[in-house]
């Protein structure tokens, strides 16, 4: 029971805050709130924007730029926007999002003529881009399998840790990258897969692994899938870069298709941020492959129920654009050409960066720049070298040494190579 003195103190403090309110002052509710740590990726953009230097270069965030360093709106998107403008209403989408967008999106991951789609075995909802899809899945995992954990590769996209942390799913890690060979630690990965308790959840990057740019080969994916089958593990694919690995979205879905061939019941997060350049539209999809249609209906209804108190239903504009592009054969072909164009420009910049470093006489090996695939080059530079790039050359990248190749251009590649050479030549 509260003491008399306690009650008096309570009444007194209530009166005091009422007086403070009346005088225009307010109680300091948030006195205990400390500033949050800067985001390791988006914080880089903040620092870049604050730098007044005219020679500054941003190779931090994974956002595609053209060869003039300008953000790109794809032609297919411009045409879809023209068709949307003034012609379509902006009412709420259903809780699960745009049915048409989801139909087209599932074809990209599961295959144009997938039996699984025909049999309605996939529970799918529109999500707030790839991040939202991962988060929705993590919350779903926690709600229905509260004792499960998630195995996450080392390294991975930094936000994966935040997503599963905030969903209160305990995290484990598995070996992925081998720093000495700058390639895949396949033996370490397979050991971890074998040693994890049966029925564990694994987060896999479907293609163009972020940040390493290192993917398993087709043969290795087959072995991984086989071992997952033996161990009855669940594969959750994060596919944020479909099209950016090979230039062809169909080829980039290979890992998923192998798992489907082997009869796995997978989960998948898809995003149109990168491959359609719809970053800020926040359009993506979460899908969970189920045993049958009835299960899929149940799972979808639960995913919607998780979304409802958070954001009710997803945004309409990006979903309209995606639906229009993918359901019109001409626009879809234009999109495929434009994806290939983006992937090819990045591949060209990999060659240019490596050649520039070799021409400068760097004694280090830069072979990995051209061996790695997707948007990023995992350069092997130390955090201290990255800091020097920022402080002495106004070049901004994440402290793990990841270079977003999407931000490298004909105009800045020489400057970038020279700076990298300067900070690495004594190592
Ligand atoms: N999954 C992976 C593996 C990613 O790299 C990203 C984006 C996402 C999901 C989420 O993308 P959405 O925009 O939500 O579809 N990673 C980029 C973008 C910046 C960020 O950290 O969100 C990056 O630079 O790593």
Q: State which residues of the chain have pLDDT below 50.
A: 1
For ligand 1, atom 4, the nearest C-alpha belongs to 240
Determine the pLDDT at residue 4: 62
Which of 139, 142, 157, 215 does the annotation list as catalytic? 157
Q: For this structure, is 335 an active site residue?
A: no
Q: Give the contacts of 70 (CB within 8 A, at least 6 positions apart).
A: none
Which of 238, 254, 300, 335 does the annotation list as catalytic? 238
Written as six digits, the tokens of 196 are 């994890």
Q: Give the contacts of 228 (CB within 8 A, at least 6 positions apart).
A: 193, 202, 235, 259, 262, 264
d(CA 129, CA 279): 8
Determine the pLDDT at residue 369: 96
Q: Is the CB of 162 under 6 A from ligand 1?
A: no
Q: How would you label 213-232 residue by residue, b for 16+ Cβ within 10 Å and e otherwise? A: bbbbeeeebbbbbeebeebe
Distance, CA 16 to ligand 1 centroid (Å)?
Answer: 48
Q: Is the CB of 41 under 6 A from ligand 1?
A: yes
- Kindly list the domain boundaries of the chain, sorted by start residue: 40-72+344-424, 93-327
d(CA 7, CA 27): 19
CB 266 within 8 A of CB 289: yes
Pocket of ligand 1, candidates 43, 60, 135, 159: which has the most ligand atoms within 8 Å of its Cβ, to mutate?
159
Distance, CA 130 to ligand 1 centroid (Å)?
Answer: 7
Tell which residue, 204, 208, 159, 129, has the closest CA to residue 375.
208
Q: Is the CB of 242 under 6 A from ligand 1?
A: no
Determine the pLDDT at residue 26: 77
Q: Return the beta strands (E) in 16-94 as ranges.
A: 57-58
d(CA 39, CA 142): 25
Cα separation of the two ends of the chain: 67
Determine the pLDDT at residue 192: 98
Please give the CATH number for the structural domain made up of 40-72+344-424: 3.90.1150.10
Tell which residue, 254, 249, 239, 276, has the closest CA to residue 134.
239
For ligand 1, atom 6, the nearest C-alpha belongs to 240
Full DSSP string of 61-75: S---B-TTS-B---H
d(CA 308, CA 292): 24
CB 128 within 8 A of CB 151: no
Residue with tokens 């050409």: 337
Determine the pLDDT at residue 198: 98
Written as six digits, the tokens of 82 are 């023209």
d(CA 3, CA 5): 5
Tell which residue, 299, 274, 417, has the closest CA to residue 358.
417
d(CA 390, CA 47): 10
Q: Is the CB of 136 under 6 A from ligand 1?
A: no
Q: Is the CB of 409 under 6 A from ligand 1?
A: no
- pLDDT tens for 217-256 read 999 999 999 999 999 999 999 999 999 999 999 999 999 9
Q: For this structure, is 274 an active site residue?
A: yes
Distance, CA 207 to ligand 1 centroid (Å)?
Answer: 13
Determine the pLDDT at residue 13: 56
Tell which residue, 178, 133, 160, has the closest CA to residue 286.
133
The Cα-based distances of 279 to 41, 241, 406 in angstroms read 15, 12, 14
Determine the pLDDT at residue 384: 97
Which of 142, 254, 274, 300 does the annotation list as catalytic? 274
β pairing state of 283-289 and 122-128: antiparallel
**Coil, helix or strand for 342?**
helix
Q: For this structure, is 51 an active site residue?
A: no
**Total residues found in the chain within this entry:** 427
Written as six digits, the tokens of 138 are 């993590």
Please give the CATH number for the structural domain made up of 93-327: 3.40.640.10
């Amino acid at each position: 029971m509260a003491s008399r003195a306690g009650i008096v103190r309570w009444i007194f403090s209530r009166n005091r805050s009422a007086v403070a309110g009346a005088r225009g002052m307010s109680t300091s509710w948030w006195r205990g709130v400390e500033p949050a740590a800067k985001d390791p990726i988006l914080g880089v953009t903040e620092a870049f924007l604050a730098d007044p230097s005219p020679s500054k270069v941003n190779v931090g965030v994974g956002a595609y730029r053209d060869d003039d360093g300008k953000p790109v709106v794809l032609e297919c998107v411009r045409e879809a926007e023209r068709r949307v403008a003034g012609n379509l209403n902006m009412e709420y989408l259903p809780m699960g999002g745009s049915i048409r967008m989801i139909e087209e999106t599932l074809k990209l991951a599961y295959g144009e003529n997938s039996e699984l789609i025909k049999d309605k075995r996939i529970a799918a909802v529109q999500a707030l881009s790839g991040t939202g899809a991962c988060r929705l899945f993590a919350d779903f995992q926690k709600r229905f399998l509260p004792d499960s954990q998630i195995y996450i590769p080392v390294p991975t996209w930094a936000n994966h840790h935040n997503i599963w942390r905030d969903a209160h799913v305990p995290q484990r890690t598995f070996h992925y990258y081998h720093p000495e060979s700058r390639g895949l630690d396949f033996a370490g990965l397979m050991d971890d897969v074998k040693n994890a308790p049966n029925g564990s959840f694994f987060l896999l990057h479907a293609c163009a692994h972020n940040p390493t740019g290192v993917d398993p080969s087709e043969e290795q994916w087959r072995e991984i899938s086989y071992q997952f089958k033996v161990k009855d593990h669940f594969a959750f694919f994060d596919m944020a870069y479909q099209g950016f690995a090979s230039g062809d979205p169909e080829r980039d879905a290979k890992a998923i298709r192998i798992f489907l061939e082997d009869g796995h019941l997978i989960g998948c997060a898809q995003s149109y941020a990168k491959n359609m350049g719809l970053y800020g539209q926040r359009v993506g999809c979460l899908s969970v492959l189920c045993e049958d249609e009835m299960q899929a209906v149940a799972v979808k209804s639960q995913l919607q129920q998780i979304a409802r108190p958070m954001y009710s239903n997803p945004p309409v504009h990006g979903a309209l654009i995606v639906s229009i592009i993918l359901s019109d054969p001409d626009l879809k072909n234009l999109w495929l050409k434009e994806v290939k164009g983006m992937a090819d420009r990045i591949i060209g910049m990999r060659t240019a960066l490596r050649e520039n470093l070799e021409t400068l006489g760097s004694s280090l090996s830069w072979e990995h720049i051209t061996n790695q695939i997707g948007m990023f080059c995992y350069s092997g530079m130390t955090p201290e070298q990255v800091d020097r790039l920022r402080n002495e050359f106004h070049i901004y990248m994440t402290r793990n040494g990841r270079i977003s190749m999407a931000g490298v251009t004909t105009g800045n590649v020489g400057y970038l190579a020279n700076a990298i050479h300067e900070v690495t030549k004594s190592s």
